[in-house]
Amino acid sequence: MRLFRSDDLLGIARETLEFVLEASEETHPNEYMGFLRADDARKLDIDREGQVITDVLVIPGTESNPVSATVRSHMKPNDMRSVGSVHSHPNGALRPSDADLATFGQGEVHIIVGAPYGWGDWKAFDNEGAQTTLDVLDVEVPDQHFFDFTQEDIDRELIAEGRDRGVVPPDERGRIGDDDENEGGFLSWFR
């Protein structure tokens, strides 16, 4: 049971499904793999309790080839928004393999996308591998703020560290660079 939200999965955002189809096509002939994340439906202006899939998380270091995709499970975050997985079958088969079923343990829904990656080339499955219905919803997907900073923020931090315009930050004694390099000159007054 999850705290503070309904477990009902209402569907997937159209924009998210478009992303999955495009990513699968771009990865072809190799498999594409990611984890599905959901937001509270009320956050998306849906007047119902439940969740909508709005995001796909791709784990760094995922390796894929034409017949499989391998995720470094230790890299997967413990994410309360995680609701399942998505992967492609470059051969076009829209049914889970035995290997797929072995990975379906976590999450509520698992999407398989098959070549040629059009609107009808995907199916959703539950943890047992039974096909399930997943509605495609026209909702506004919230902006993700993983990197919520501006260029001004970056510049300010670089200046504070002394790394703007090639300036090396001082060491713990206030000196800059090697002793041999700073005999006199403009920066010698820091000593």
In DSSP terms, 171 is beta-bridged to none
What distance in Å separates the CA atoms of residue 67 and residue 29, rounded to the nearest whole number?
9
Output the six-digit token pair for 111: 């999407």
Cα dihedral 82, 148, 46, 59 in deg (nearest 10): -20
What distance in Å separates the CA atoms of residue 110 and residue 96, rounded to the nearest whole number?
9
H/E stretch holding 135 reads none
Q: Is 15 considered catalytic here?
A: no
Which letter, b or e, does each residue of 87-113 get, where b requires 16 or more Cβ atoms within 10 Å of its Cβ? bbbbeeeeebeeebeebbeebbbbbbb
Residues 6 or more apart whose CB falls under 8 angstroms from that of 128 comprise 101, 104
Which of 15, 18, 26, 31 is flagged as catalytic?
A: 31
Cα dihedral sign, 108-76-12-114: negative
Catalytically active residues are 31
